[in-house]
Structure 1
Amino acid sequence: MSESEQEQSDKQKYEFKKVIEDLKDYEGSGTQLVSIYVPEDKQISDVVAHVTQEHSEASNIKSKQTRTNVQDALTSIKDRLRYFDTYPPDNGLVLFSGAVDAGGGQTDMITEVLESPPQSIESFRYHCDSHFLTEPLEEMLADKGLFGLIVLDRREANVGWLRGKRVEPVKSASSLVPGKQRKGGQSAQRFARLRLEAIDNFYQEVAGMANDLFVAERHELDGILVGGPSPTKDEFLDGDYLHHELQDTVIGKFDVAYTDESGLYDLVDAASDVLAEHEMLEDKRAMEEFFEQLHDGEKATYGFEPTRENLMMGAVDRLLISEDLRQDVVTYTCENGHDERELLDQREDTPEHTCDRCGDTVSAEAGEREDAIDHLMEIADQRGTETLFISTDFEKGDQLLSAFGGVAGLLRYSTGV
C-alpha cells in the first residue's frame, strides 16, 4: 500500500469510527433499529427482496409505534439501495436505519450507509434490536496488520493469515518423514540419510506453500510468525527455506504444541506480546522522534493553532493526530475580516465569539464549523504532508492527547512557530 493509500485508509477508518460512536449512542424504543450487513458478492436485488419480506412480516408486530418505525426504517433502506448497481462496492455495504430517541418523548428517523468497510463483510446479516449492531464494524476498525502464520513439526504443517484479529487457515501438508526407528535391514547410516532427505523435502514443501501465499503480499505484510516444537522451527528458519524477502520479515518464533489448524490460533496467542508491540511500532517511533525534537531540537510543533500555522507554511513533514481526538474547529470571521478559530467538543454548541483583534462580536450562526481532523488533513494533503494517527494505547501516545491537545507535527525545518 502506498503512502497516499495508507493515509486515505486511515482517514476512512476515522470517518467510520465517528459514525460508529454516534450509532452506539442511539437507542430505540423496542426492537426498531435495523442493521444490515451486505457482502460484496450478494446481489442488491436479493437484499431488496429480503428487506421487502421483512417489511411484510413487520405488519405482524403488535405495537403500532414499533410496527410503523420498523417499516419506515425498512422503506428508508430500500430507498438507499436504489443508488447501487447489481452488487455492492468492494468489501460490501452496511446500512443502519431507525427511529431513535430524541428526548422529551420525541424520535428522529436516521439512516446511515457505510460503503466499502475496512475489511470484507463475510456474510449477510439482518439485525433488528433496540440498538444498532456495530460490533462487526468495531472489530474491523480495531484490526490492524497482516501477518503470515506458519506452524510445523516433522509430521504436518499449516500456513495461513492473521488479518487483524482474524485467523485464516489456508494450506496444510503432511510429511512422509519416517520415525526415528530404522526399518528392516537398512543400515543405520542409510536410514538416517533417507530421513534427513525426507525432512529436507518436507521443509521445502512447507516453504513452497508459504512462498506461494505470502510473496505476492510481501509489500503489505507486517511480518511472519513461525511456531512449532524445537528443533523443528529452528531447523526450518536456519535452513533458509523461505524466500529471501520473506525470511527478513520473520518477527518471531514460538513454541507451539499443535501444528494442525488449531496450532495457528495457538501461535497467535503465544505471539500476543510481539503483535501488540509491532502494532504500535510506527506510532512509538514517531512519538519518540517528536519528544527528541521537543527537548533537544527545533523541529517539533504542537497544539492546534501552531501546528496549523506550520502546515499552512508547508513546514510540517508528518502531522501527528491522536486517534481519540473528537473536536470541531469553528472559524469566526468578524465584520472587519479577521479570521479566528476556536476548538470545541463535537457535541458542544457553537457559542458567540468576541474578536481578539477588534472586539467585534460574532454570532454563533456566523461561525463556520467543521471536524478539526478533516480541517487539518485537507491542508496536509495540499502541502504534501504525511498524516499519522497515533494510538493512545501507550504512554507517549496518550500524552499526545492529554498534554498536547491531540495535534502535533514533525517539521521539515525550524520555523519558530
Structure 2
Amino acid sequence: MSQQQDEQSDKQKYEFRRVIEELQEYSGSGTQLVSIYVPEDRQISDVAAHITQEHSEASNIKSKQTRTAVQDALTSLKDRLKYYKTPPENGMVLFSGAIDAGGGQTDMVTKVLESPPDPVESFRYHCDSAFLTEPLEHMLADKGLFGLIVLDRREANVGWLKGKRVEPVKSASSLVPGKQRKGGQSAQRFARLRLEAIDNFYQEVAEMADDLFVPERHELDGILVGGPSPTKDEFLDGDYLHHELQDLVLGKFDVSYTDESGLYDLVDAAEDVLAETEVMKDKQQMEEFFKELHDGEKATYGFEQTRQNLVMGSVDRLLLSEDLRSDVVTYECENGHEEREVVDRRKNTPEHDCTECGATVSAEEAEREDVIDHLIDIAEQRGTEAKFISTDFEKGEQLLTAFGGVAGILRYSTGV
C-alpha cells in the first residue's frame, strides 16, 4: 500500500470511529433504532423491498410511539436509497431512528456510511434500542495478530499483540526449587526432582499457549518467545508447543522480566521482526519525535504551535493521537482579529473576548470543526504526511496526555 493510500485509510478509519462513537451515544425509548448492513453484491431494489416489508410488519407493533418511530426510520432509509443505483465498494451501512433528546423529546437521526474499511459480509437488518455498531468496530480493529510468551523457571505469561495493543491473558507460577539442594537429600535425587519440576512447568506453559493460540492458529501472523537463557531455549528446543504453533515461532528474544511487563518488553525486543507491524511503525515515529525534542530542533507539539508550522509548510510528518476527541473553535472579531481555541467535543462553544482588542465574539459567530479534520486539511494542502498514533504504548499515551494529542516532525528548524 502506498503512503497516500495509508493516509487515506487512517483518515477513513478515524472518521468511521468518530461516527461509531456518536452512534453509540444514542438510545431509543423502545426497539426503534434501525441498522442495516448491505453487502456490495446486494441489489438496491432488494434492500428497498426488504425495508417495505419491514415497514408493513411494523404496523403490528402495539406501542403507537414505537410503531411510528420505526416506520419513520424505515421511510427515511428508503428515501436515502433512492440516491444509489448499486452499493458502493465494500458495501454500506445505514442507521436511522428517533433518539432520546431529553425532556421527553426525540430527534430523528439518519446516517449512511459508505465503503467501510472491510467488506460487509452479509445483509443484516437489526431493530433495537441501540444502533448495531459491533460489526463496524470489528472492521476498525487493528490488523496483525501475534502470540506472545515470556517465561523463566519461576513464572510465565502469555498474551496477544493485536495490531498495536498488547493483551496479557494467562499467567503461571512454577514450583521449581532453587538450585540449592535441601538438607538430607542426595544431590542426584534433588537434581532429578528439579528437572521434573522444570519439565512439568514447561508443559503447563505450553498448555496455556496451546489453549490460547491453537484455536486462532490460522489467523496468527506469528509467535514471539522471550525470557532469559537457557529457559526460552529449553522451552523451544523441547518441542513443548503444539507442532502447528512451533512452525509459527518467529524468534526467541532476551527479556529480563517475565511478568506482564515482560510481554511489552518482548514486543520491544522483537522490533526488527515486527518492523512492518502497526505498533512498531507508531513507536518509531514517536522515538524520532522524542529524539528531535530532546536533542534536535525539528520537533513541534501542541495545537497552535503545530498549526503555525503546518501553515508555513515546514512539517514533514503530522502526528495525531488516535484518541484525540476535541474541536477547534475559530473566533474572528469585528476588527478582523482571528484566534482559535481547542475545546472538548462534548462541551458547548464558549464566547470569547479578543486578546488584541477586547471585542466579544459570541458562540453563534464562531466557527467550530473537528481538530483532526482542521489539521489534516492544512496538511494535505502543504504536502504533509499525517500519521495516527495509538495510545497503547507509553510514548503514544504521552502524545495525548502531555502534548495535547498533536505533534510533528519538521522538515527544517523554524524556531516556532
Q: What's the TM-score, normalizing by structure 1?
A: 0.71
Note the C-alpha offset of 1:361.
1.1
- 2:408: which partner in 1? 409
Matched residues in 2 for 1:255 and 1:134: separation?
41
- 1:190: which partner in 2? none
- 1:303: which partner in 2? 302
Matched residues in 1 for 2:380 and 2:392: separation?
27
- 1:64/1:267 CA distance change after superposition, 3 Å: farther
Q: Secondary structure at the match of 1:70?
A: helix
Note the C-alpha offset of 1:6.
1.2
- 2:156: which partner in 1? none
Structure 1 residues 169-248: aligned runs within 5 Å: 225=222
- 1:60: which partner in 2? 60
- 1:131/1:317 CA distance change after superposition, 3 Å: same
Note the C-alpha offset of 1:346.
1.2
- 2:38: which partner in 1? 38
* 1:280 correspondence with 2:265: no
Note the C-alpha offset of 1:142.
1.4
Letter in 2 for 1:284: K
- 1:345: which partner in 2? 344
Q: Is contact 2:163–2:279 with CA below 8 Å preserved after alignment?
A: no
- 2:382: which partner in 1? 383
Matched residues in 2 for 1:352 and 1:226: separation?
55
- 1:91: which partner in 2? 90
* 1:336 correspondence with 2:335: yes
Matched residues in 2 for 1:145 and 1:369: separation?
36
Deviates more, 1:5-14 or 1:319-328: 5-14
- 1:257: which partner in 2? 242
Matched residues in 2 for 1:354 and 1:30: separation?
45
- 1:255/1:364 CA distance change after superposition, 3 Å: farther
Q: 1:101-144 deviations in whole A, cap 9, x for unaligned?
A: 00000010100100000000111111111000001101111132
Note the C-alpha offset of 1:363.
1.3
Q: Is contact 1:256–1:267 with CA below 8 Å preserved after alignment?
A: no
- 2:324: which partner in 1? 325
Note the C-alpha offset of 1:279.
3.0
**Percent sequence identity over aligned pairs:** 72
Note the C-alpha offset of 1:307.
0.1
- 1:293: which partner in 2? 292
Runs of 5+ unmatched residues, structure 2: 147-161, 165-219, 225-238, 253-262
- 2:194: which partner in 1? none
Q: Is contact 1:318–1:411 with CA below 8 Å preserved after alignment?
A: yes
- 1:121/1:344 CA distance change after superposition, 3 Å: same
Q: Is contact 1:400–1:408 with CA below 8 Å preserved after alignment?
A: yes
Note the C-alpha offset of 1:225.
3.9
Runs of 5+ unmatched residues, structure 1: 148-162, 166-222, 228-253
Matched residues in 2 for 1:62 and 1:389: separation?
48
- 1:360/1:226 CA distance change after superposition, 3 Å: closer
Q: Secondary structure at the match of 1:280?
A: helix
- 2:357: which partner in 1? 358
Q: 1:313-343 deviations in whole A, cap 9, x for unaligned?
A: 1110000000011111111111111110001
Matched residues in 2 for 1:413 and 1:296: separation?
14
Q: Secondary structure at the match of 1:88?
A: coil
Matched residues in 1 for 2:330 and 2:354: separation?
11
Note the C-alpha offset of 1:24.
0.3
* 1:17 correspondence with 2:17: yes
Q: 1:144-167 deviations in whole A, cap 9, x for unaligned?
A: 2499xxxxxxxxxxxxxxx979xx
Q: Is contact 2:144–2:221 with CA below 8 Å preserved after alignment?
A: no
Matched residues in 1 for 2:55 and 2:107: separation?
20
Note the C-alpha offset of 1:30.
1.2
Q: Secondary structure at the match of 1:118?
A: coil
- 1:127: which partner in 2? 126
Q: Is contact 2:145–2:222 with CA below 8 Å preserved after alignment?
A: no
Q: Secondary structure at the match of 2:284?
A: helix
Q: Is contact 1:93–1:113 with CA below 8 Å preserved after alignment?
A: yes
* 1:71 correspondence with 2:56: no
Q: Secondary structure at the match of 2:317?
A: strand
Structure 1 residues 93-172: aligned runs within 5 Å: 93-145=92-144
- 1:406/1:79 CA distance change after superposition, 3 Å: same
* 1:80 correspondence with 2:67: no
Matched residues in 2 for 1:110 and 1:224: separation?
40
Q: 1:374-416 deviations in whole A, cap 9, x for unaligned?
A: 1100110011100000000111000000000000000011111
Q: Secondary structure at the match of 2:293?
A: helix
Q: Secondary structure at the match of 2:37?
A: strand
- 1:298/1:342 CA distance change after superposition, 3 Å: same
Matched residues in 2 for 1:333 and 1:17: separation?
31
Q: 1:190-224 deviations in whole A, cap 9, x for unaligned?
A: xxxxxxxxxxxxxxxxxxxxxxxxxxxxxxxxx96
Matched residues in 2 for 1:285 and 1:412: separation?
17
Q: Is contact 2:90–2:120 with CA below 8 Å preserved after alignment?
A: yes
Q: Secondary structure at the match of 1:57?
A: helix
- 1:67/1:267 CA distance change after superposition, 3 Å: farther
What is the CA RMSD across the aligned residues, in angstroms? 2.8
Q: 1:29-74 deviations in whole A, cap 9, x for unaligned?
A: 1111000001101111111111111111111111110011001001
Residues paired across the two proteins, number: 314
Q: Secondary structure at the match of 1:336?
A: coil
Q: Is contact 1:99–1:110 with CA below 8 Å preserved after alignment?
A: yes
